[in-house]
Structure formats: C-alpha cells, structure tokens
C-alpha cells in the first residue's frame, strides 16, 4: 500500500513538524507571561469602554503592569477595581473621586423655543452640523439623544422635555458621553457635589433672556450672595470653584431664573433653641430673611422661607441653632 | 520538554496519522471509479472532435450516453494514446492513421480553457471542442467562449487561417471576451505546429 | 507578460472580486465591517496572511504533493498549514512588532476560519498559475477584499444613523446595501474583455 | 429527571431549525449559502454534503474531546473536519461528478465553513456525543432547509423551474429575472429573510 504509507508519512510528518515547531516557538517567543497581568485583567470590568483612555481593558492592564499609569483611571471600576489592582501590584491606590456626568443645560422644549423647524437626521451630531442645531439658544443641548446612544451603561434616556435624564445609580462616570456630545452640554462632576450651574450659554444677558426662560443672564446675584465666594463671573457665566463650594444651596435659591441645578433631594431647615439670647447675628446673615424676632428675645425661624443653607448655624455665638430635616446636607435618599 | 508540551505534539501527531490513513483509504477506494469516469469523458471528447466525415468509411459517431457507463465506442475508430492525457493518434479499423487529437489548456483569465482539437492528416482542423464544465468558474455562470457558434468557426480551417480578424476569412472574436478568444486561437495555432510531426511519420513515434 | 499579470490583478481586484462576485469570506465581512478602523485592521491582516499562505501552499503543492501523487491530501494539508501559519504570525508579531500587533492582532485568530484565504490557495492551484501569477492574484484578491470591506464599513457607519424600520435595522439593511454594492460591481464584468 | 434530560435534548434538535438557525439567526455559514443556492439541485447537494460533514465532525469531536489539549484544539478540530470534507469531496467526484463540477471550489471550503468550526468549538467540545449529534443534526437541518428554500426561490425566478421542472408562467420563462442568479440577488434574498425573522423575533420579544 504505497499510497497509504506515503500519505501517512507526509501528513504525519507535517503534523509532527508543526507540533514541534509550535511548541518550540511557543517557548522561544513566549513573552514574560506574568501572572500579574492575568490577575489585573480579571479584576477589570472588561467592558472596554475606553474611559481609561486605552482601546481595551487588556491594553490598560498591560500599562498598569508596566507601572506606566496610575491604577485608578478605570472610572467604571471605581474604588473596588482600584483597590483590587492595588493589592495585586502592591501599590496603594491613590483614589480619584468617584465622578458622575450631569447635564449643564435646563433649556428643554418648554423653556427654550426653536429657531427653525428641523426634521433631518435624528442624531445630535447631524443636527449639530446644521448651524449647531435648531434650538434658539446656540449653546444649549439639542436633545436628540446621542449621549443615550453611546452610553455603554445605558444610564441616559431622553425625557419628554427633549433633554437627557441621567440615572445616577447606573452612571459610572466613564465620561464617554461628555466626549461624544457635540454641544459639550454634559460635564463630569464629583459624585458628592450637589450644586452645579445648569447653563452653558456664554451669550450676553439680554440675548439669553429672550431665548431661554431658565438661562443664566449673568446678573451675578449669586456671586454676591455666596458666603464662601466660590463663584466668579467668567464670560457671562458664574464659574464655581468646587474646592470652596460647600453645596449650601444659597445660589440655587437666590438665582432669579433658578439656573442652578440642585441634586439634593431634600434640604434641611434651621431651628432655634431656647439658648438663643436674641443677639440678631443670624438675622444679618440670613439672606432669605427666614428669621424673625426682636433684639434680646428668642428668635424664630420661618420654615417656609428657610432653605437650610446653614449660615445662621455657623454664625450663632451661642450655638442655639440646630439643623433638622434632611440630616444636614446629605441627600435624603 | 514538559509533559504537557509532549502531549500536545503527540496528540497532533496521532490525529494526523489517523486522518492520513483514513484519507488514503478513501482515495484508493474512489480512485478506480474516478479514473473510469475520466476515461469515459476523454473517449467522449475524442469522438467529438474526430468524426472525420471525409474519411473513407462511413461510420458516424453515434450518441454516447455519459450517464450509462457502457462504453459505446464510435464504430470504426481506435485511439492510441501517445502522450498521457494530451495526444492521441486516430486510426481507422484498418489501422491507417487518419489524424491526431490533442488536448490543450491555454491560459484564459477565468483560468485555463481546456480545448480538444481534432486534426486530419491534411493538417485541416476537423473540429474543436471546449469543455464547458471543466472551466473553474463560479457555479451557474457560463462564459461566452463556450458558445458553439464560436467553436463552429474552427471547423474545416487550415492552420494559416487561424487568426483573429473581422472578416469571415479569419476567426471572429466574441464581443466582451476578446482576451479569452485570442487565447484560444493562439493556443490552437502554436500546438498544431508542435504536434504536426506526428501526422507525417507513419510509424509509431517514440514519445518525445 | 506584464499585461498578462496586470490583467490577472485587475480580474482578482475588481472584476472577480472575491467578496461580492464569488461570495467567499462573508462571515468576517458582516462581522467586522461596522467601523473603519476594524475594517482596515482586518484587511491589512488578511493581505499579510493571504500572501504568506499562498506562497507556502503553492510551494508545498507543487514540490511535495504532486511528485508524491498525494493530491487528495490537498485540503487537509492546506488548512493545517494556514492555521499553523496564523499561529506563528500572531506570536511573531506579539513579540517583535507590539504596535502592529495591537492594531492587527485581534483579527488574526479570526482569519484562520476566513474562507477567503483557503479559497485563494485553491483557486491558484485550479487555475494552474505560476508562483509569480499566484502572488499577483493573491495580492489582487486581498486588496479587493480590503477595498470592499472598507467601502462597506463607511456605508454601515452611515446606516447607523439612517431612519430604518426596526425589523430592518442591523443585518438586513447591511445585506441589502451589500446587494446594491454587488450590483455596482457587476458592472465591471467585461472590463478589458475579462469575463467572470 | 430523565424527562428533563430528554426535553432539553429534544430542544437541541429543534433549536437548530428555527430558533437558532445557523444562517438566519447566528449569521454564520453565509458563503456556501449564497454561492450554491443558484438552483435547488446544487443547494440540496451542498446542504447534504455540509450536513454530513457537520454531523460526523460533531460526533468525532465530542468523542475525543477529553484527549484534546486545550492549547492546540483548533488545529485538531481542523484536521478532523478536513478529513470528512475530503471524504465527501472524493465520494462526490466518484458518484455525482456533475454536481461536484458545479459546486467546485465550495466543497473544500466546507472546512472553513463557520457553522462547522463554530459548532465544534462552541458545542461539541463541551457536550457528550448524543447531545452533539442532535445539535449537529438540528443545525444541519436548519442549514439545508434555508439553503434549499433559497435555491428554490432563486431558480424559480431565474429559470421559472423548481428542481429542473419548468412550472413557471410563460412570461417568466421568456424573460427570466437573471438578477436572482447573480450575487446581488443572493444578498437581497438573505436580507429579506433576515428582516422577516427579525419581524417575528422582535414582536415576540415585545410580547414577552
């Protein structure tokens, strides 16, 4: 059976040769397959969302293994992943705050009229090509939901007022929507930050006023009102310095067009106890004249007017003021 | 070599051995039948190109059913294979040489075009036959070269008339397939020159 | 001689385009052509591997299988060689050309099951091409594959935002778009007398 | 316990035909489907050939799955599948030469057919022999069903016939829709099939 023999020899030989070659090259070319890399890859969420700036988790893991990059830039993973990796490579994880994406524009279909009727492609980027969208406010969010499309965690949906609504539990702060939004109306702020400005319009005051009912027309009341001078006007918008701001909420309530967005579900209110010696310091401080009472008599708080900013609480020399309701500034939820 | 790599190489080797053995068994089993069919087709093609009506005896080629495998040979002819699968000498029943048949495969652009050419002793082409189904083409799409009208032009043509031209003197190329028709014409002409010497010598020449 | 090669190239590149006219290599075609970068990565990987495998299999066929009359082993040997080749290329790239590997690497395992590579090795044998002709043929086919897949990835990126009814979104509309592109490629039949 | 075992086995079989139909749902194995479904006979031929290879390779792979080292499993699968494909190739050459000619390069391409390698990798490598046989059978039936269906439609429109018997109306035969034989027709047909399937699945999902 020469055919039988020949075919066995040739094919068997080929198989053997390839097997040996494979094994040999496998060892010679084997890159240092460090087990650490495997473990890091396992610790990463693996959704390849690109928030860490790399095309995939694997590439990010390789960079961590080569100690080229801080180990907490995996935003979706957040603290647990950072800790896990920290243990793996034995380096304390320098924690970057957990972040969350927020919409910095409140001009929906009701508040802000439309410049022209547009029935083109139903995607923000397409609408953006046509004079920046059909909203009369040039800077505002056109609301066609591109951010909802690209969010890898499905945290964004478009509300009936034609504006994106971000579900804070789902949102991991990966920042993809911020990058993808053509109008740059989404911003990443620390998850613990409650108050942020809800307007991005750099127009002059009067153009904003006749275009959007909730736009900031840079009256700068908030800047004067803020006890911690955390705000300063910059091209017609009050820029907030997060380190100074204590989320007291004064700017939110003092703003005539409530352009500020307050993420706190419930705010506390102040109560004055019997210790009050009627010195009146708190009355001077309270910007919402929510405190009434005559000198040297116990003062009283008008709960309806009190926004729970806590200024009286801080200023009261005899510590007579207590904050009640929403457990101080924490959110009720 | 750790134990696992030995096992990797070994398992690959064993699988190759088994499959090679199996394949050779299958091949030897089916080879007989394939050759049978192959011969059957060559006989059919030989008959197609060498029905030399001008030859003395009157035997005409009767139809040969490919499907039924009984070999109904043309009544009078016998074919002696000179070069395996490329050249045959055609003799009538009194073993007189009446022509040769050769198979060529000039290079078209859809792949090689297999052509059978029957040549009478007077170097006049009796007939040519292009095997349509041999062409390696996407199933279901024929190519124009195969049309019988193109093949008919070659019947009863002398060697010097074999050139592409517009008038009826030469061969009209098929529209849209100029490259392939030129390949066919040149292929036939060059090979006639090569095999001409087998026509003249009466004795059986040694294979070149 | 040169026109002959040029015509083989054009036949492989456009007229008998492997994807649209011969239907070979469709599985990765619909899978990978969603975005330009993936399409480009895939087609460069295909070009690289197709050329290598055509050479190796051509030499193996003509100098080993034919003299030993083992033509029936053709399928098994070819596919084994291609699988091993892809494995070596992947390891080699991973070791020496890291950036190239990260751009092209992810598609390499995909290529072993790519019908186009094996099809080219077979067509080259069936057409009885010489080594030079088969090199030209495989380059032409790979470029044809790349051309169509990149062309199509642009179309599919546009399709993402087009208003399409729900049941047609995704693959159905991709197929219909592919049929229109194939119709356009059908126009090339007969170019320079090259028939299908 | 046995009934549960039997039901999900039965599920393997029926899943392959509609729910997890390889061509329409899993979107694999498109190359042979579009290429050989130009008429019903070729489609049936390719369907049977692919099914034979799929079922046998599923059985063999699940039989030897314990001895196959993981790092080299793809080459071993490929050798097993190519053995079956070569056997089918040579059996077809011996017994159905005309069909073999028409299917041409697509028979060896069954080796890299994504269905077979896909099923081997995803299913047969992890389940016992009976389950993989049933799964292979289900997928094969699903594949053949769709490919023959497409063959019938394409042949009807392009030749007004089904399995070669002319039944189409006069108008269709006099000027047939050749578009269906050419590649665009195939793509269009698959697109429409997929849309129909989406329609069912989509509103089925909504119902759930």
The reply to whether A194-263 shares the fold of A99-192 is yes
If we measure between CA atoms, which residue out of C103, C100, C98, C142 comes closest to residue C120?
C142
What is the tens place of the pLDDT at every residue in D82-105?
999 999 988 888 888 888 877 777
Question: Across residues C185-192, what is the average pLDDT?
Answer: 77
Question: Across residues A285-310, what is the average pLDDT?
Answer: 85
What is the tens place of the pLDDT at every residue in A42-85?
777 665 565 666 666 777 777 777 766 666 666 666 667 777 77
Q: Which is more confidently placed, A251 or B1?
A: A251
Q: B-chain residues within 8 Å CB-CB of A11?
A: 16-17, 19-20, 23
Gap between the Cα atoms of C74 and A14, Å rounded: 13
Cα distance between the two ends of chain D = 28
Q: Measured between CB atoms, does B143 come within 8 Å of chain C?
A: yes
What is the tens place of the pLDDT at every residue in D176-189?
777 888 888 889 99
Q: Which is more confidently placed, A44 or A170?
A: A170
- For residues A232 and A238, is the Cβ–Cβ distance under 8 A? yes
How is residue C23 written in tokens? 């239907």
What is the tens place of the pLDDT at every residue in C33-76?
777 877 888 888 888 889 999 999 999 999 988 888 888 888 88
Indicate the pLDDT class of residue A92, thresholds 50, 70 and 90.
Answer: low
Low-confidence winner among B19-28, B80-89, C98-107, C146-155 (lowest mean pLDDT): C98-107
How is residue D84 written in tokens? 């079956």
Gap between the Cα atoms of C101 and A59, Å rounded: 12
| Per-residue pLDDT at C104 exceeds 90 | no
| Per-residue pLDDT at B139 exceeds 50 | no
Indicate the pLDDT class of residue A97, thresholds 50, 70 and 90.
Answer: low
Gap between the Cα atoms of C92 and C166, Å rounded: 44
Gap between the Cα atoms of A194 and C8, Å rounded: 69
Q: What is the pLDDT of residue A326?
A: 59
Gap between the Cα atoms of B7 and B1, Å rounded: 10
Q: Return all residues near B154 (Cβ < 8 A) that are at least 6 apart.
A: B117, B125, B127, B128, B162, B171, B188
Is domain A35-89 classified as CATH 1.10.15.40?
yes
Mean pLDDT of chain B: 71
How does strand A195-197 pair with strand A156-158? unpaired
Query: ∠ CA(D57), CA(D60), CA(D62), 5° rounding?
Result: 105
- For residues A197 and A237, is the Cβ–Cβ distance under 8 A? yes
**Contact criterion met (CB < 8 Å) for A16 and B24:** no
What is the tens place of the pLDDT at every residue in B6-21?
888 888 889 899 999 8
Strand partners, A279: none
Cα distance between the two ends of chain A = 84
Q: Measured between CB atoms, does D10 come within 8 Å of chain C?
A: no
| Per-residue pLDDT at A331 exceeds 60 | no
- For residues A186 and A151, is the Cβ–Cβ distance under 8 A? no
Low-confidence winner among A79-83, A101-105, A136-140 (lowest mean pLDDT): A79-83
Enumerate the domain spans of chain B. Answer: 78-200
Q: Which is more confidently placed, A8 or D10?
A: A8
Question: Across residues C93-111, what is the average pLDDT?
Answer: 70
Question: Across residues C82-90, what is the average pLDDT?
Answer: 84
Gap between the Cα atoms of B34 and D97, Å rounded: 9
**Contact criterion met (CB < 8 Å) for D83 and B22:** yes
Strand partners, A102: A187
Enumerate the domain spans of chain C. Answer: 16-193
Instruction: Give the CATH number of domain A99-192.
Output: 3.30.70.20
Of B34, B138, B140, the CB nearest to D94: B34
Q: What is the pLDDT of residue A241?
A: 87
Q: Return all residues near C163 (Cβ < 8 A) that are at least 6 apart.
A: A121, A122
Q: Measured between CB atoms, does C187 come within 8 Å of chain D?
A: no
> Residue B125: enclosing H or E segment and its boundaries?
strand B124-130
Gap between the Cα atoms of D4 and D10, Å rounded: 10
Half-sphere exposure of residue B57: CA atoms within 13 angstroms, side-chain side? 16
**Contact criterion met (CB < 8 Å) for B8 and A8:** no
Question: Across residues A206-232, what is the average pLDDT?
Answer: 86
Chain D closest-CA separation from residue A99 CA (Å): 35
CA distances from A139 to A22, A104, A123, A136, B161 (A): 60, 10, 17, 9, 81
Domain at A269-324, CATH from 3.30.70.20, 3.40.47.10, 3.30.470.20, 3.40.50.2300: 3.30.70.20
| Per-residue pLDDT at D207 exceeds 50 | no
Task: Name the C residues in 51-90 with CB < 8 Å from any A CB.
Answer: 64-65, 68-70, 72-73, 76-77, 80-81, 84, 87-88
Q: Measured between CB atoms, does D72 come within 8 Å of chain A?
A: yes
Q: What total number of domains does chain D contain?
A: 1
Q: A-chain residues within 8 Å CB-CB of C104?
A: none
Chain B closest-CA separation from residue D1 CA (Å): 37
* Structural domain that includes position D146: 2-207
Contacting partners of chain C (3+ CB pairs under 8 A)? A, B, D
**Contact criterion met (CB < 8 Å) for B11 and D69:** yes
Q: Measured between CB atoms, does D195 come within 8 Å of chain A?
A: no
Gap between the Cα atoms of A2 and D189, Å rounded: 50
Task: Name the B residues in 17-46 with CB < 8 Å from any A CB.
Answer: 17, 19-21, 23-25, 27-28
Interface of B with D (CB under 8 A): 4, 7-8, 11-12, 15-16, 19, 22-23, 26-27, 30, 33-34, 37, 133-134, 136-141
| Per-residue pLDDT at C149 exceeds 80 | yes
The dihedrals phi and psi of A302, each to the nearest 5 degrees, come to: -90, 105
Interface predicted TM-score (ipTM) of this complex, two decimals: 0.71
Q: Measured between CB atoms, does D36 come within 8 Å of chain B?
A: yes
Instruction: Give the CATH number of domain A194-263.
Output: 3.30.70.20
Q: D-chain residues within 8 Å CB-CB of A18?
A: 75
């Amino acid at each position: 059976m020469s055919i039988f023999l020949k075919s066995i020899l040739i094919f068997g030989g080929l198989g053997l040769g390839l097997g040996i070659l494979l094994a040999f090259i496998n060892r010679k070319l084997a890159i240092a397959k460090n087990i650490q890399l495997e473990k890091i890859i396992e610790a990463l969420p693996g959704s390849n969302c690109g928030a860490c700036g790399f095309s995939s988790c694997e590439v990010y893991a390789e960079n961590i293994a080569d100690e080229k990059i801080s180990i907490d830039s995996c935003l979706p993973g957040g603290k647990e992943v950072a800790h896990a990796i920290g243990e793996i490579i034995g380096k304390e994880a320098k924690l970057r705050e957990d972040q969350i994406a927020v919409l910095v524009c409140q001009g929906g279909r009701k508040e802000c009229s439309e410049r022209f009727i547009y029935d083109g492609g139903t995607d923000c980027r397409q609408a953006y090509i046509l004079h920046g969208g059909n909203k009369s406010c040039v800077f505002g969010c056109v609301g066609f939901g591109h951010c909802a499309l690209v969010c890898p965690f499905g945290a964004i949906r478009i509300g009936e007022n034609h504006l994106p609504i971000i579900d804070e539990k789902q949102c991991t702060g990966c920042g993809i929507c911020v990058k993808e939004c053509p109008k740059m109306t989404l911003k990443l702020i620390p998850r613990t930050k409650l108050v942020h400005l809800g307007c991005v319009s750099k127009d002059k005051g009067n153009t904003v006023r006749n275009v959007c009912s909730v736009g900031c027309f840079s009256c700068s009341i908030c800047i004067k009102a803020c006890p911690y001078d955390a705000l300063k006007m910059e091209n017609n918008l009050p820029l907030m310095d997060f380190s100074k701001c204590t989320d007291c909420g004064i700017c939110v309530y003092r703003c005539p067009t409530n352009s500020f967005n307050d993420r706190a579900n419930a705010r506390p209110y102040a109560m004055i106890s019997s210790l009050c010696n009627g010195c009146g310091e708190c009355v001077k401080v309270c910007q919402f004249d929510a405190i009434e009472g005559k000198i040297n008599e116990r003062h009283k708080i008008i709960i309806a007017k009190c926004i729970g900013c806590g200024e009286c609480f801080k200023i009261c020399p005899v510590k007579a003021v207590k904050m009640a309701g929403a457990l101080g500034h924490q959110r009720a939820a | 070599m750790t134990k696992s790599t030995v096992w990797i190489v070994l398992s690959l080797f064993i699988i190759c051995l088994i499959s090679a053995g199996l394949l050779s068994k299958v091949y030897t089993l089916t080879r007989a039948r394939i050759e049978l069919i192959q011969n059957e087709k060559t006989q059919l093609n030989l008959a197609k190109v060498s029905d030399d009506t001008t030859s003395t005896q009157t035997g005409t080629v009767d139809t040969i059913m490919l499907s039924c495998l009984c070999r109904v040979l043309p009544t009078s002819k016998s074919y002696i294979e000179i070069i395996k699968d490329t050249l045959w000498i055609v003799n009538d029943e009194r073993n007189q040489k009446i022509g040769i048949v050769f198979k060529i495969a000039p290079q078209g652009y859809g792949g090689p075009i297999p052509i059978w050419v029957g040549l009478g002793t007077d170097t006049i082409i009796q007939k040519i036959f292009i095997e349509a189904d041999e062409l390696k083409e996407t199933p279901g799409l024929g190519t124009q070269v195969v049309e019988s009208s193109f093949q008919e032009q070659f019947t009863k043509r002398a060697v010097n008339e074999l050139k592409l031209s517009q008038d009826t003197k030469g061969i009209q190329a098929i529209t849209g397939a100029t490259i392939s028709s030129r390949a066919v014409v040149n292929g036939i002409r060059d090979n006639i020159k090569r095999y001409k010497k087998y026509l003249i010598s009466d004795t059986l020449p040694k294979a070149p | 001689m040169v026109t002959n090669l040029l015509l083989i190239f054009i036949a492989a590149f456009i007229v008998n385009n492997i994807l649209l006219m011969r239907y070979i290599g469709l599985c990765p075609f619909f899978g990978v052509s969603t975005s330009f970068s993936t399409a480009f990565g895939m087609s460069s990987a295909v070009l690289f591997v197709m050329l290598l495998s055509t050479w190796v299999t051509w030499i193996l066929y003509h100098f080993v299988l034919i003299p030993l009359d083992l033509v029936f082993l053709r399928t098994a040997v070819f596919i084994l060689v291609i699988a091993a080749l892809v494995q070596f290329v992947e390891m080699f790239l991973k070791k020496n050309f890291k950036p190239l590997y990260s751009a092209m690497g992810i598609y390499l395992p995909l290529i072993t099951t790519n019908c186009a590579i094996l099809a080219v090795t077979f067509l080259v044998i069936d057409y009885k091409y010489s080594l030079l002709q088969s090199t030209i043929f495989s380059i032409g086919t790979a470029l044809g594959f790349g051309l169509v897949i990149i062309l199509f990835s642009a179309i599919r990126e546009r399709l993402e935002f087009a208003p399409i009814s729900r049941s047609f979104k995704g693959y159905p509309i991709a197929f219909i778009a592919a049929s229109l592109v194939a119709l356009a490629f059908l126009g090339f039949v007969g170019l320079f007398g090259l028939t299908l | 316990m046995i009934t549960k075992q039997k039901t999900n086995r039965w599920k393997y079989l029926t899943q392959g035909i509609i729910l997890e139909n390889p061509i329409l749902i899993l979107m694999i194995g498109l190359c042979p489907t579009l290429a050989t479904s130009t008429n019903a006979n070729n489609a049936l031929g390719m369907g049977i050939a692919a099914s034979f290879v799929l079922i046998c390779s599923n059985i063999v792979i699940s039989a030897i799955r314990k001895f196959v080292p993981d790092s080299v499993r793809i080459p071993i699968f490929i050798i097993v599948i190519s053995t079956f494909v070569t056997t089918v190739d040579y059996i077809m050459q011996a017994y159905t030469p005309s069909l073999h000619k028409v299917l041409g390069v697509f028979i060896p391409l069954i080796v890299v057919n994504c269905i077979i390698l896909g099923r081997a990798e995803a299913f047969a490598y992890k389940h016992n022999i009976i389950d993989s046989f049933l799964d292979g059978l289900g997928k094969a039936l699903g594949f053949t069903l769709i490919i023959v269906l497409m063959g019938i439609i394409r042949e009807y429109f392009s030749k007004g016939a089904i399995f070669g018997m002319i039944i189409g109306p006069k108008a269709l035969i006099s000027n047939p829709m050749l578009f269906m034989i050419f590649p665009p027709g195939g793509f269009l047909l698959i697109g429409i099939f997929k849309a129909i399937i989406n329609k069912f699945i989509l509103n089925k999902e909504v119902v759930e």
